[in-house]
Structure 1
Amino acid sequence: MARLSPLMILPPAVFAGLAAMFIWGMNREDPNALPSAFQDKPAPAVALAPLGDHPSFADADLRDGRVKLVNFWASWCAPCRAEHPNLERLKAEGATILGVNYKDKPAAALGFLAELGNPYAKIGADESGRMGIDWGLYGVPETFVIDGSGKVVLRFPGPVTAQILETEIRPAMERAAAE
């Protein structure tokens, strides 16, 4: 009877271990969720440069007692263009949206707003991307729902579609208003 070498057992054992990790990973609660270190914590500091003659915002604007959205966007971002009508709709409904123009050329950003409209109550430029890093930004667009005390209620990465507006953003705004 031939004796099994430990090297013959190693490949099936490695395969079984990898298979177990893949199965565990696929059964996580929400595999598409990108965690936010700031969920249910105070929003990070605001550090913005002015964008044109639009009014900018600061930390105090996040803690004014009202629910608001902070939306990171850029003129070069196609998904930002796609979400823009939904932001305009929110603005028309009375939502306060604060805009952060991320790593963009001011002229291009202002052109984007002139073409599509400006859904932002206040807006500033994050020219270096430092504020984006501080907020844990993965990319643009990203939208944060902030309660009246400045706490992050929701971080949503990606464009705000009509479906996301109804299933994620509005419920988070309602939770923020109730807190």
Structure 2
Amino acid sequence: MLEIEMTVNGELQKVGINPKDRLLDVLRDTLRLTGAKEGCSGEGECGACTVIMDGQAVNSCLVLAFQARGRHIITIEGLEEKGELDRLQQAFIDQGAVQCGYCTPGMIMSAKALLMNNPYPSEAEIRTAIAGNLCRCTGYIKIINAIRQAAEEKVRNLTPACGSGGPT
């Protein structure tokens, strides 16, 4: 057994791992963060296990747990703030982008990584960011619309309203 430290959803975690443990297994089985799912038998083909590691979307089924030592991990559970859904989570609900829900956490995490690194993505950039996430329930249009809505809401929240004292 090895002991590693990593920051998960803003909290330092010390966990005992076996050298062959995957990040997905540590998140789900040790830390009980079950949002990331295994949909493709650990082949990195479906994106259901996507988490954000040091600002980048990664398939947690392909990351050995020891590779997460000293890293900052964000899971779907870490997006909620003060009991409120992240604007991206809310946009998925608003746009009807949540179907069966199995792929949704991974899809949201890929989109969140995109918006963290590129707050104003084009449709082509959105499509590229979620290309590694499979959804068997939708045609992706509602998902793309949800990501676009979240990006637009960020722009609206950053733009001062008329008469607010900001530039006109």
* TM-score (norm: length of structure 2): 0.27
* More contact order relative to length (CA 8 Å, sep ≥ 6): 1
* TM-score (norm: length of structure 1): 0.25
| Larger Rg over CA atoms | 1
